Structure 1
Amino acid sequence: MKNSLLSIAFALAAVVCYGQPSPTTEEEYNYVTKGYQTQISQGLDMKKGYSFEDRGDVIAGDYKFSFKYLKRDSKNELAAILVVAKSSVSGNSYYLCIPHGSPELTKRYNDSFVNWDASILKAYSRTLSSYLMDATLH
């Protein structure tokens, strides 16, 4: 329930910042959650027709959360939000896609937290809350 509310709030903030973009597609969701990691690790080019806008990093305890807006170049609109969550303890990185306009993809986003422990969930929740406020005010 908390995750659903956070994803809805985040999507609303994105709409406020960027207007009413087309919904996130399955291809965009898969690129953010899987393709981006492959692109970075193998030094590949950016997905054609898209660009990332860095929105900053937040350190919360043992975790670093990096936010990037995936934008469709043709319409200069928001496609999705990439969140890279990195644990300084385990060294694990998680690639999350915050979609908008797609209940199925929003469910997949919410399901991605199933294996997270309480400490990373708490850090992520705090980070999203402060990030949402900052994004809304600026």
Structure 2
Amino acid sequence: MRINDAKPKPRSQRRRRRVGRGIAAGQGASCGFGMRGQKSRSGTGTKPGFEGGQMPLYRRVPKLKHFTVINPRHYTTMNVGKLAALPAQSEVTLESLLEQGILNSEQGPLKILGDGELEVALTVKAARFTASAKQKIEAAGGSCEVIGQE
């Protein structure tokens, strides 16, 4: 026998309480809701978590420190300085960098960062570019193409 198997015998449930049927019934007049206040009024009352207009706990807590991002985006990062070793007018993609051995693992789509200097013109195809990386690639005469962005 398990806990979800435990239930009353057929036709043995208690009948529902009929409120507002006079004092003799035990739940007359205010029907067990007390005399006054928000919780005595008709309707549903307040939703779960409502704190009287104050910012509720479930909205306050994630703003504090040390809460991790639920679904973080992972990128394979690459600095512009490492692209300087490539021949001019070549096309740079995540696959080409893995084939040439410049990158040794793939952690997600390619993101180009702006550290280092670039003198050769390259056609770079990546999911993301930082502003400084885009500026350095285009200043060297290359082009940036955003592909496969999530």
Instruction: Give the TM-score band, short-chain normalised.
Output: under 0.3
Larger Rg: 2
The structure with higher relative contact order (CA 8 Å, sep 6+) is 1
**Normalized per residue, which structure has more helix?**
1
TM-score, structure 1 normalization: 0.26
**Normalized per residue, which structure has more strand?**
1
TM-score, structure 2 normalization: 0.25
